[in-house]
Amino acid sequence: MSDEPAQQIIPRIWVGRYAAITTPGFLEKNDIKNVISVCPCEDTLTGYNQLVVSILDVAEENIMKHFPETNQFIQSSIDKEENILVHCEAGMSRSVTIVTAYLMWSRKITAKKAISIIKAEWPSASPNSGFFMQLGIYEEIDYTVDQQRTEYRRFLMANMAEEREMHGYVAEMTLAADPENAAKQGRASLRCKKCRRVLVDKDNIIEHEPGKGQQAFSYHKRDSSLHISETASSDHGEVNTVAQVNTSLNPLLASLATSKNNCSSYFIEPMEWINGLDQWNIEGRLDCPRCHTKLGSYCWSGAQCSCGRWVTPAFTLHRKQVDEIKAVKLR
Ligand SMILES: [Zn+2]
Ligand SMILES: [Zn+2]
Of 62-71, 77-86, 107-116, 176-185, which gets the smallest average pLDDT? Answer: 176-185
Q: What is the pLDDT of residue 328?
A: 64
Q: What is the pLDDT of residue 213?
A: 66
d(CA 170, CA 159): 9
Give me the catalytic one of 39, 88, 288, 305: 88
Give the closest ligand to the alpha carbon of residue 304. Answer: 1
Q: What is the pLDDT of residue 211?
A: 78
Q: Is 299 a catalytic residue?
A: no
Q: Which residues of 194-205 are buried (b: 16+ CB within 10 A; e: fewer)?
A: eeebbbbbebbb
Start-to-end C-alpha separation, the chain: 63
Of 6-10, 166-170, 200-204, 250-254, which gets the smallest average pLDDT? Answer: 250-254
Of 57-66, 77-86, 257-266, 304-313, which gets the smallest average pLDDT? Answer: 257-266
Of 205, 151, 176, 196, nearest to 271 by C-alpha is 176
Q: What is the pLDDT of residue 217?
A: 54
- Report whether CATH 3.90.190.10 matches the domain 6-145: yes
Q: Which residue has the higher pLDDT, 14 or 331?
A: 14
CA neighbours within 13 Å on the CB side: how many for 56? 4
CA neighbours within 13 Å on the CB side: how many for 211? 13
Mean per-residue pLDDT, 210-214: 73
Residues found in the chain = 331
The identity of residue 317, as a single letter, is L
d(CA 114, CA 138): 12
CA of 205 to the centre of ligand 2 (A): 18
Pairing mode, strands 189-192 and 198-201:
antiparallel
CA of 306 to the centre of ligand 2 (A): 23
Measure CA 55 to chain center: 15
Tens digit of pLDDT for each residue in 247-260?
Answer: 333 334 334 444 44
Q: In the chain, where are the structural domains located?
A: 6-145, 189-325
Backbone CA torsion sign across 266, 272, 273, 278: positive
If pLDDT is split at 50, 70 and 90, which confidence band does 51 have?
Answer: very high
* Percentage above 70 pLDDT, the chain: 82
Mean per-residue pLDDT, 192-211: 91
Give the closest ligand to the alpha carbon of residue 303. Answer: 1
Of 157-161, 221-225, 315-319, which gets the smallest average pLDDT? Answer: 221-225
Is pLDDT of 330 > 90? no
CA of 27 to the centre of ligand 1 (A): 57
CA of 96 to the centre of ligand 1 (A): 40
Q: Which residue has the higher pLDDT, 313 or 171?
A: 313
Contact 209, 307 (CB under 8 A): no
Q: What is the pLDDT of residue 329?
A: 60
d(CA 142, CA 150): 12
CA neighbours within 13 Å on the CB side: how many for 63? 33
CA of 188 to the centre of ligand 1 (A): 20
| Most confident residue range from 35-39, 187-191, 206-210 | 35-39
d(CA 264, CA 306): 6
CA of 90 to the centre of ligand 2 (A): 54
CA of 268 to the centre of ligand 2 (A): 16
CA of 311 to the centre of ligand 1 (A): 9
Q: Which residue has the higher pLDDT, 253 or 77?
A: 77
Q: What is the pLDDT of residue 221?
A: 35
Of 15-24, 69-78, 255-264, which gets the smallest average pLDDT? Answer: 255-264
For residue 241, the cross-strand partners are: 232
Q: What is the pLDDT of residue 183?
A: 59
Tens digit of pLDDT for each residue in 25-47?
Answer: 999 999 999 999 999 987 688 89
